[in-house]
Every structure is written in structure tokens, then in C-alpha cells.
Structure 1
């Protein structure tokens, strides 16, 4: 029973990325400046879709991570894989899911 509960807890919460506090501040700045250049400085939309908590309510962090890393072909969303690790992209996804 205890093992079953532990498994449920693991799947109930999105994976947290292992990112240092300094890197987290740099990633937050990147979201504001780089992501904000297309998604709006308040992330409420622009050339790109809104990245508000409400707009991402049904998106899972792992799916967002893949979009961040690989972009969306045929759109203005570029792949960030050359500049970000998977942990950093997951951190951004979780950051966006918790952002107003």
C-alpha cells in the first residue's frame, strides 16, 4: 500500500528540474526577454501565443519542454535545444505553468 501511494505521488506532481539558483535567475530573464519578444513582454500573446497560467492550464510540463527544445516547425517558434538543457527547458515549462 505504501509503495502504491509513493508511485501515485510521483505521478501526481510534475518532475522538477535540477537548476541552480543563479541559472534559474538567468532563465527567468530569458523568458522575459527572449520569449517575451514574441509572446509579449507580459507573456499575454503577440506573434506567439499567450504563455499565461490560464493559457497553459491544460498543457503538461513535459509537452511544453519538448516545444521549448524542438520548436514548432512551420511557425516562428524556434528550437532552443542548442542553448538549453532538458532540465533547463523543464524548469522553464514549470515556471510558465506557475506564472500569472
Structure 2
């Protein structure tokens, strides 16, 4: 996925929307603190050895046969990459924070 190599950050308003999306939508299955729930943990430690491109593909395409839905159409590929980068670094503790 060549576009995944891009490291552009979304505008600050969109960053807040993406942080909210992760906290609310992803958190509903992965736990509100992203420590795991129905879905696995999305902490930096849990994702440390996972390939970035594979995680971006999961965000965009979901996981067939599991409850993980696709977010393609809700987030763009560069936004999915931004989310994955934040998750692998340790997602912002403050729901209003971006990076």
C-alpha cells in the first residue's frame, strides 16, 4: 500500500474526530481504554510487533468472519495510517488530544 507510507497528519478538527472515533467506535469492542474486550487490545505493547500496513488494511477492510467491521468510507487510507501510528505509539490519553 504505497499511500500508507505517507505520514501526513490530519487537520486538528479531523484529528479530534478520529480520536473520538477510536475512543467510541473502536473502544466499544476493544475496551474504552483500548485494553481489550470483545476485540483484542489496541495498546502500543499489543501492537508493537504487528506490521503497520496490515493494521491499516484491517482498519479499512475489517476482518471477515469476525465482528471487526470495515471503516473504508468512514476514514481515508491516510487517516487509517494516522490512527495506526498513534495506536502503535500509545494512543493519546486525553480524548481531546491529537498529535
Name the TM-score, length of structure 2 as normaliser: 0.82
1:38-93 deviations in Å (ceiling 9; x for gaps): 00000000000000010000012221110000000000000000211001111110
List structure 1 segments (4+ residues) > 4 angstroms apart after TM superposition. none
Cα offset, 1:15, TM superposition: 4.1
The match for 2:23 is 32
Unaligned stretches of 5+ residues in structure 2? 92-99
Unaligned stretches of 5+ residues in structure 1? 1-13
Alignment of 1:7-86 (within 5 A): 15-86=6-77
State yes or no: 1:99 paired with 2:94: no
Higher RCO structure (Cα 8 Å, ≥6 apart): 2
Aligned length: 87
Alignment RMSD, CA only? 1.3
The answer (yes or no) to whether the contact 2:6–2:78 under 8 Å persists in 1 is no
Name the TM-score, length of structure 1 as normaliser: 0.81
